[in-house]
């Protein structure tokens, strides 16, 4: 996906990250607000402005550096804060907040695939940038649904998990994104083929 990128394609990757992660985090904020929590609004996160949601180092520079040295990238935005005590429907409301981000990326991937088909699928700089947009959003969708705290997939698992597992998940989440880095360093050889398979399958489904 990220091999031998031109300068224009690298710029397209940066723009895609800004748009995709911005919409992803904004949707977390909007859904949490809709479900009764005002934390995101008070911290200025109830906006589609990507600059309010991304971090220069972990959202832009880190994934670009990994792409350049041909390592599967990890995309980390500034998580949207919310208070579970204020969220309607309890754990299921929190699960909805978690799902809203990845589903937004899936919708963006679908919209990108429609644009790609309308473009006639002819090889060009524009079509290659649209393909990157689709692939990155598919990657965001799959990556964030991994049920490792604090990724969004863990919010969904937490709603259905028994209490002992919830306790373990809370302990893992206390380490923040360090836990994600540790898991990926230890299990990358097992996780990457699965992520790559799901990414390729969904890409073929959307793009034909």
Active site residues: 25
For tokens 């259905």, name the residue.
160
**What whole-number distance in Å separates Cα of residue 120 and Cα of residue 156?**
38
Burial environment of residue 58 by CB neighbours within 10 A (0 to 12, 13 to 18, 19 or more): middle
> Of 86, 105, 89, whose CA–CA distance to 26 is shortest?
105
CB proximity list for 15: less than 8 A, separation 6 or greater: none
Helices 177-207 and 125-144, interaxial angle, to 10°? 130
- Written as six digits, the tokens of 39 are 């934390």
């Amino acid at each position: 996906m990220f091999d031998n990128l031109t300068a224009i394609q690298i710029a397209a990757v940066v723009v895609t990250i800004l748009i995709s992660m911005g919409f992803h985090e904004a949707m977390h904020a909007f859904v949490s607000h809709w479900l009764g929590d005002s934390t995101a609004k008070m911290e200025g996160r109830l906006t589609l402005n990507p600059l309010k949601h991304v971090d220069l180092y972990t959202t832009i520079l880190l994934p670009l550096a990994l792409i350049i040295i041909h390592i599967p990238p990890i995309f980390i935005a500034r998580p949207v804060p919310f208070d579970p005590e204020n969220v309607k429907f309890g754990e299921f409301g929190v699960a909805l907040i978690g799902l809203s981000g990845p589903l937004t990326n899936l919708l963006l991937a679908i919209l990108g695939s429609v644009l790609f088909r309308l473009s006639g699928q002819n090889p060009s700089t524009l079509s290659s940038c649209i393909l990157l947009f689709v692939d990155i959003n598919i990657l965001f969708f799959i990556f964030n649904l991994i049920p490792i705290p604090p990724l969004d997939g863990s919010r969904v698992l937490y709603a259905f998990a028994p209490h002992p597992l919830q306790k373990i998940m809370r302990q893992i989440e206390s380490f923040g994104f360090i836990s994600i880095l540790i898991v990926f360093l230890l299990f990358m050889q097992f996780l990457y083929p699965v992520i790559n398979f799901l990414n390729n399958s969904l890409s073929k489904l959307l793009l034909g």
